[in-house]
Chains A and B, each alone.
Chain A
């Protein structure tokens, strides 16, 4: 038996779904958080009876005639898969909009339960809804719910279960509408809204009208002020990073790293008698490498917690409003800010969150650029280099974010030039949801959930990669144990790529090349691979940056045998090249165009390489008075990249010019 959750965007479907299934799907206080169908068995405490009930969470929809890709998921599912019961989650504060979809759902014959969600907000506004009357008028059960506090959900479920196998009668049905005629459809929709209004006027009493100025409007006036709002946004984001990466995060990380070290020593003492190879594989490769990644968990979890609070309070749509005029100038949308903020946690949900952007070009550009924002997996890399080369100076981390933001703007302009952006009117509209006090519980659960995903990743992909790297560097192609590190399988594979890196790091280092390659699988691998491949380094890193022993930072730098400038360049190269294969997969599904996908990968590779090259060569010129090694080779690579872009831009210009003459010619 399947129960589908359907309703307007931001009415609380996923909150209800999470409550009744015990799942922890992403929720947020803005329209369009859920973009895909999800299903899971409902917890037994919500119903009696032996048959298993499956809840199906659907993306928000305003109507059954779909016009966005998310809406079509919803209407297609309900029409084709025919769930046994529909729970229509409505926003009690906006019945006049919500019931439009309700009346359409009631026409399908599938039994419907209407949940008046956000009843608490509605009552705090002193609105009254006569639910008995509403239930009679709609011809279906109506239940008041407050999904965030788990109120009314049991009654809602019981009502749903009692309807199994029953037929739904429609209070309103439109007949004889010619669906191919736009006028006719609009006329029918207008009549439906009239019917909805007639119901609402019978059941709802409002003492405060929506059009009256309320408390939220005063907050909006401050938060969306064109100047003040920007300062506030910068301040909020700074606080998120400062707390997670300079204060609470590192404090917790210190403790965790202590535990990991103890564990590593313990296993080390158990394996004291075993072969050096096995010891190195388990203690240094597996525990050391994976531990290096796990050590960053507290920073990432604190950041996820804070971002979840931001997502929950209703601020995200205000941030979109403030940034829209700026983003619009470079061909993005104010809504692009949501993916960029989510991207500080992980690029994959960030790229998926682009779907709320209506304009296709703005959506694609945002998906391409979102991963320039350093994600959680890049934190260990930043911290390792900041610790090893810059004695943990505080400017390194923020600089990486600022460069990321600058690259987003620069990249957006490049995309405009290449795709032939015409300064067409792009309309902006975003719903401003009611502010609410963010739920600590939701933020905590979201933090645990995303933190757990990070641990799982460390215990699977990172573990496998580290083990593979350890094995590949321990053996030669004839499977003899390596005597000279440069003879290993890993060294021979990475060697050709090391030449490509000379213009960025100034030396031929297969270890750095190997780390950059494994970093494409998952960015945390950069740290793990460096820890494993540099002889002696694993003893110094001691699982990760915070454990860098007093003064050991310089020794690590000595092992890498590259200059500070090279370290900075190599770090940036790793941060701004594609984040990981999973993110490329997410881009593939969001961009829905091979041309865009390859363009995106090319842009990210080219940008990462160019910025690494410029930082190293210019930095070396400034510090030593001459360019570094590989200047000419790198220059050729960068010029080829620039040449391709210029060629593409010219091509587009020509095409646009010929289109223009074509258009004016036919006038």
Chain B
């Protein structure tokens, strides 16, 4: 499933990141968002959610959440 469907406050392991934009996927990689890493959804709003990757929090929109397969 995608991160957009993930439960809040539960640990997931990223299986894949489906992003064509190579720059963006390289950027996400540097932050620690790549297959094999942990990711946790901290909270969720209508159009975006807050995630914890490594030891930082990021706000991502649903487009991006849908591109992250867990």
Check if B32 sits within 8 Å of A427, measured CB to CB: no
- CB-contact partner of B9 in A97, A190, A213, under 8 A: A213
- CB-contact partner of A425 in B42, B55, B63, under 8 A: B63
Residue of A nearest to B37 (CB): A193
Check if A431 sits within 8 Å of B61, measured CB to CB: no
Check if B46 sits within 8 Å of A97, measured CB to CB: no
Check if A95 sits within 8 Å of B55, measured CB to CB: yes
- CB-contact partner of B59 in A211, A226, A317, A426, under 8 A: A317
For the complex formed, measure the closest distance between the CB of B20 and the CB atoms of chain A, giving whole angstroms: 9
Check if A220 sits within 8 Å of B26, measured CB to CB: no
Check if A97 sits within 8 Å of B59, measured CB to CB: no
Taking the complex as formed, is A62 at the interface, i.e. its CB lies under 8 A from any CB of chain B? Answer: yes
Residue of B nearest to A125 (CB): B55
Check if A62 sits within 8 Å of B63, measured CB to CB: no
Check if A324 sits within 8 Å of B27, measured CB to CB: no
Residue of B nearest to A218 (CB): B43
State whether A94 and B56 are in contact (beta carbons under 8 Å apart), knowing that A427-B64, A428-B63, A432-B50 are contacts in the complex: yes
Residue of A nearest to B38 (CB): A211
Residues of A within 8 A of B46 (CB): 226
Check if B45 sits within 8 Å of A67, measured CB to CB: no
Residues of A within 8 A of B59 (CB): 224, 317, 321, 428-430, 432
Q: What is the total number of residues of chain A having a CB less than 8 Å from a CB of chain B?
A: 40
Q: List residues 10-61 of chain B with CB under 8 A from any CB of chain A.
A: 11, 19, 21-24, 26-32, 34, 36, 38, 40, 42-43, 45-48, 50, 52, 54-61
For the complex formed, measure the closest distance between the CB of B64 and the CB atoms of chain A, giving whole angstroms: 4
Check if B42 sits within 8 Å of A100, measured CB to CB: no
User: Within the assembled complex, what's the spacing in Å between the Cα atoms of A217 and B30?
Assistant: 24
For the complex formed, measure the closest distance between the CB of A111 and the CB atoms of chain B, giving whole angstroms: 24
Q: What is the total number of residues of chain B having a CB less than 8 Å from a CB of chain A?
A: 37
For the complex formed, measure the closest distance between the CB of B46 and the CB atoms of chain A, giving whole angstroms: 6
User: Within the assembled complex, what's the spacing in Å between the Cα atoms of A224 and B67?
Assistant: 22
- CB-contact partner of B30 in A63, A221, A324, A430, under 8 A: A63
Per-residue B-contact encoding for A324-367, CB less than 8 Å = 1, 0 else: 11001000000000000000000000000000001000000000
Residues of A within 8 A of B45 (CB): 224-226
Check if A426 sits within 8 Å of B31, measured CB to CB: no
Check if B36 sits within 8 Å of A427, measured CB to CB: no
Residues of A within 8 A of B60 (CB): 427-429
For the complex formed, measure the closest distance between the CB of A273 and the CB atoms of chain B, giving whole angstroms: 69
20 A-B pairs with CB atoms under 8 Å apart are: A62-B27, A63-B30, A67-B27, A68-B27, A96-B32, A97-B32, A189-B29, A210-B52, A210-B57, A211-B9, A211-B38, A217-B43, A217-B57, A224-B48, A321-B48, A358-B24, A358-B27, A427-B64, A429-B59, A430-B58
Additional pairs, 9, CB under 8 Å, beyond known A193-B32, A211-B9:
A65-B26, A67-B27, A93-B55, A189-B29, A190-B34, A216-B57, A328-B61, A427-B63, A427-B64
- A residues contacting B by CB (< 8 A) are 62-63, 65, 67-68, 93-97, 100, 182, 186, 189-190, 193, 210-211, 213, 216-217, 220-221, 224-226, 317, 321, 324-325, 328, 358, 425-432
